[in-house]
Amino acid sequence: MSTSERNGHQRAMEDCDRAIKLDRDLAVAYVNRRHALAALGHLERVAEDYQTSIDLVPSPEVIEEAEHGLESLRSYLVSV
C-alpha cells in the first residue's frame, strides 16, 4: 500500500471516529470505519465494528454481511 493510500485510510478512520463521537448510533460510521481499519490491518477493531453494526441495525442484511465479513476475517487470520 502506498503512503498516499495509507494516509487516505487513516484520514477516513479518523473522520469516522469523529462522527461516532458525535453520534454513537450512526451505524454507517462503523461500516465505513471498518473498511479503513481493515486496510490498515487493525483486524480486532474490525471485528468490534462488525458487532456494533449488528447491535445498532439488527436487520437480516446487516447480520448476513457481518457474518460473512467475520468469516472472511477468521479465514484470513488462520492463513497467516
Query: How many domains does one find in the chain?
Result: 1
The pTM of the whole model exceeds 0.85: no
Alpha-helix residue ranges (DSSP H) falling in 23-59: 27-40, 43-56
pLDDT (tens digit per residue) in 4-57: 999 999 999 999 999 999 999 999 999 999 999 999 999 889 989 989 988 998
3-state helix, strand, coil in the chain (%, to 5): 85, 0, 15
Grid cell listed for 76: 484470513
Which residue range is the domain that position 40 belongs to? 3-79
Q: Which residue has the cell 450512526?
A: 26
Return the CATH number at 53.
1.25.40.10
